[in-house]
Amino acid sequence: MARENFIEVQGLRIRYFEEGGGPAVLLLHGASLGSSADVWAGNLSDLAARGLRVIACDQPGFGLSDNPEDPSVAYRTRFVFAFMDALQLEKARLIGHSQSGRIAVSLALEHGERLPGVVVLGTGSLLPPLPGRGKSDAAEGEEGGAAEPTLEETRRLLEESLFNGNLITPAALQTRHRMSTGKNFRAFLARARARGGDGKESKRESKPLWRRLGEVPVPLRLIYGREDRGHAAERAALAKELHPGLDLHLVPRCKHLVQWDAAEEFARLSGSFLAERT
């Protein structure tokens, strides 16, 4: 059973769940409105059973963690190592969902010595664009509206990310909605302003990350839902052409929340891969 804990990191009160023992694995949720460590609730025990110390935190501005003054992706990228330091983790494996897959790959490229292995889950911006379609993941995983959502609007956003809508139980919906309102909605608006305001969040990379996957110096596995948005299956095929040695898996009957749609397959693909990186 996962334990809920709180810890101070850089002056912020951060919530996290922890279960199991062994090599540490940090699970990083995406950036859609309502995202939080709760997105991994159905996965922690399965991963811990594979001999891993599994830790899932609410990133700053999400869940029950405090809102940061800096809403940028760059800040949340730096936060990962600050969180590891607060837990006295010299090294940890990372699982990054959606936008956090970019965070994980960026950290691996610059500081691979602290990351024995990385799993990317449903990160569309790490797949090459289809010819003639251009870039389509600029605000990846940051879905949400201009007004605080109703319960029904929260349900619709979840349905867009799931192949199996029956997984949206009343309890799951209530949790997602609670994490979409109040201070979390205010943080969501701050992230939107940061993307469109001073340009720091929207500047183009000199070389996009999808072209740099072959440079990642640590073991890397990418997992996508075959039915995910943004033509994920077609773009995954292009990624394999570009990087023939890429460890990439398409999971059928899954959309964006692969860890919900195919919890057992997700645990097998990610747990076995990371448990080997001791």
Can you give the CATH number for the domain in which 226 is found?
Answer: 3.40.50.1820
Rounded to whole angstroms, how far apart are CA atoms 116 and 217?
A: 9
Rounded to whole angstroms, how far apart are CA atoms 49 and 30?
A: 24
Percentages helix, strand, coil for the chain (3-state, rounded to 5) are 40, 15, 45
Tokens standing for 227? 């039915």
**How many domains does the structure of the chain reveal?**
1
Rounded to whole angstroms, how far apart are CA atoms 23 and 89?
A: 10
Rounded to whole angstroms, how far apart are CA atoms 8 and 30?
A: 21
* pTM of the full structure: 0.94
Which range marks the domain in which residue 46 is found? Answer: 3-275
Tokens standing for 9? 């990191």
Residue with tokens 């009343």: 170
Nearest residue to 205 via CA among 137, 158, 152: 137
Nearest residue to 58 via CA among 162, 146, 187: 187
DSSP-derived 3-state class of residue 138: coil
Q: What is the pLDDT along the chain (278 residues), one digit of tens a residue?
A: 789 999 999 999 999 999 999 999 999 999 999 999 999 999 999 999 999 999 999 999 999 999 999 999 999 999 999 999 999 999 999 999 999 999 999 999 999 999 999 999 999 999 999 997 765 554 576 778 889 999 999 999 999 999 999 999 999 999 999 999 999 999 999 999 988 754 444 455 678 999 999 999 999 999 999 999 999 999 999 999 999 999 999 999 999 999 999 999 999 999 989 988 66
